[in-house]
Amino acid sequence: MKSGRTTTQEFDAVVIGAGFGGLGMLRKLRDELGMSVRIYETGDGVGGTWHWNRYPGARCDSESYIYCFTFSKELLQDWNWSGKYPEQPEILSYLNHVADRFDLRRNIQFDTKVVSSRYVEETNRWEVETDTGDRVTAKFFITWIGCISTSNVPTMNGLESFEGEWHHTGDWPHDGVDFAGKRVGIIGTGSSGIQAIPVIAEQARSLTVFQRTPQYTIPARHGTIDRKFLEEEVKPNYEKILEKARWSKSGNAVNFSERLALNATAEERKEAYEAGWTEGGHKFLWGSFKDIGKDRRANDTAAEFIRAKIREIVKDPETAEKLLPTDHPLGSKRALIDTDYFETYNRENVELVDIRHSPIQTITPSGIRTEDSEFELDMIVFATGFDAMTGSFFKIDIRGRNNLSLKDKWSEGPKTYLGLQVAGFPNMFMITGPGSPSVLSNMTVSIEQHQEFISDFLDYMRANDIEVAEADPNSEIEWVSHVNKVAESTMYMLADSWYLGANIPGKPRVFMPYAGGVGTYREKCNEIVDKGYEGFILRA
Ligand code: NA7
């Protein structure tokens, strides 16, 4: 425990995390409900994910005009994004602007980790302890600890012996990393890897990419935002655009194609895929054919188009072959968009190593040894992802009724009602917890929906003299079973992904987010509210 203050203060609500989720929650509870709120934040500034993920090339893959808070019309009109996709430094500036504009910092305690939170039956309060010695109590305990914020540095022999620098993309040094003249190795080719690889390749002496699973990725066609589009189409129509996003499948204001790939001719398919590739971004998926997300044969037509593109772009046929994704359908892992990813393998200073066929044996003082080669490196970048959805919860000793620990309760995978509450943990709410659309959507849309749900719920409790709200264990069982059932009919079950916990050895293989879509989920939540918070046990 760090030395420091020891206080015993009482709040209406304690919120963990000062990213998008925590900042908006604080504003709502404090400014709309008049509650006393304290946010604890591990970092020394606001931003959450965008505070930590400062690796080169880091950016969001939802378009900037829709990746934002929507509670303030003035904020929507005033803020001008510069990139088509928002880049990490700009998102961080935006969140700092929001924190200042709405005077949020005074309720945030930075550089402070919550180490435990315990529900006390007799007082109906949560006792929260931090690593700085704070002990506070709150009626409501709300988590915004990030769905993908616990970095996964895989256990690798010899890492401690490595004499160079190493970094994880999710915990990047705040004053940057100098790649000049360095022989860099990067492990991992997920979203972070494919964003970082082209940028590091331009700066480093050499870059060796250690790839376990080849990826499908579509050019993002990132650039500066189209100002005419922003000023003439977005800003005057923001309300309509946002409403469409809120009721959509993915939290984006887009029109999904109604065409079926399997009903189209080979030429029609090629034309549609080519158009999606040229325009770039996720439109390749939603704008081409609706069956590529549902039917494996339809999916194969799109996957084969991408493989042909890889063969066309990558000049060395052996490297191209190694980059071809073949063992999982398109979209079964997180859909990726990139800037010059495949083109980067045409650079003289970039080498691709297939560690599926020649696994890493050990990290040595001077580099990485695989089964059949040795690579001399000055730096290793781990783009190896996160212990997603549950990892951050397990770093805190969270205990509900009868001292039940959340870690024990979730030992076979997360169990929640709507991804909002857990049976046995009264008055604890999760913003985009497991079992909600969260990581399968434009996060800001899902985050705001939860902020509204929680805030309305707390207001309802107050108006109706309800002291305790807790998920009914039966509703929880039904919801978990519904989440699994929805996932089973999707492509997501056909890949080893972090959605299923497959990237963490020993983690139960359970599909964690809700794949039914943002609009459907919102509808279900609204119905539950209309029925007097059906599925929650409410006590005076
Ligand atoms: P991801 O998407 O989990 O990608 C991690 C990458 O690292 C992926 O290529 C993994 O290969 C690879 N990996 C993980 N562990 C190992 C080990 N032990 N050895 C070799 N390679 C490994 O994380 P990202 O940070 O890229 O993205 C996370 C999310 O952040 C993203 O989806 C967005 O929502 C934002 P694998 O595919 O498992 O074989």
Determine contact, residues 21/142, Cβ cutoff 8 Å. Answer: no
Q: 84 pLDDT exceeds 80?
A: yes
How crowded is the C-beta side of 356, counted as CA atoms within 13 Å?
13
Q: 408 pLDDT exceeds 90?
A: yes
The values of phi and psi at residue 376, to 5°, are -85, 125
- Cα 352 to ligand 1 centre (Å): 16
Q: Looking at residue 349, what is its pLDDT?
A: 98
Determine contact, residues 200/207, Cβ cutoff 8 Å. Answer: yes
Average confidence (pLDDT) over 317-336: 96
Written as six digits, the tokens of 515 are: 């794949």
pLDDT in tens, 250-275: 999 998 999 999 999 999 999 999 99
Q: Looking at residue 8, what is its pLDDT?
A: 78
- Cα 323 to ligand 1 centre (Å): 15
The enclosing H or E element of 368 equals: strand 367-370
Q: 312 pLDDT exceeds 50?
A: yes
Pick from 439, 436, 460: which is nearest to 388 by CA? 439
pTM: 0.96
Q: Looking at residue 1, what is its pLDDT?
A: 47
pLDDT in tens, 172-186: 999 999 999 999 999
Average confidence (pLDDT) over 435-443: 96
Sort 416 into a burial class: Cβ within 10 Å, 0-12 / 13-18 / 19+: buried
Mean pLDDT over all residues of the chain?
96
Q: Where does 418-498 have alpha helices with state H? A: 443-463, 473-488
Mutate to test the pocket of ligand 1, among 212, 496, 498 (most ligand atoms within 8 A of CB): 212
- Cα 459 to ligand 1 centre (Å): 40
Neighbours of 294 (CB within 10 A): 14
Q: Looking at residue 146, what is its pLDDT?
A: 86
- Cα 500 to ligand 1 centre (Å): 12
Average confidence (pLDDT) over 234-261: 95
The values of phi and psi at residue 279, to 5°, are -75, -35
Name the maximum alpha-carbon separation found in the chain: 70
Written as six digits, the tokens of 192 are: 């972070």
The 3-state DSSP class for residue 526 equals: helix
Q: Distance between CA atoms of 98 and 153, rounded to whole angstroms?
A: 32
pLDDT in tens, 498-514: 999 999 999 999 999 99
Say which CATH topology domain 10-150+388-539 has: FAD/NAD(P)-binding domain (3.50.50)
Give the binding-site residues of ligand 1, using a 6 Å CB cut-off: 148, 154, 169, 187-193, 212-213, 334, 355, 383-386, 439, 498, 503
Q: What does 182-210 look like in DSSP terms, one character per residue?
A: -EEEEE--SHHHHHHHHHHHHHBSEEEEE
Residue with the smallest CA separation from ligand 1 atom 27 is 191
Q: Looking at residue 5, what is its pLDDT?
A: 53
Neighbours of 223 (CB within 10 A): 11
Q: 3 pLDDT exceeds 50?
A: no
The 3-state DSSP class for residue 356 equals: coil
Mutate to test the pocket of ligand 1, among 155, 341, 503 (most ligand atoms within 8 A of CB): 503
Q: Distance between CA atoms of 249 and 517, rounded to whole angstroms?
A: 4
Where do the structural domains in the chain lie, given as residue ranges?
10-150+388-539, 159-382
Average confidence (pLDDT) over 273-288: 95
- Cα 382 to ligand 1 centre (Å): 9
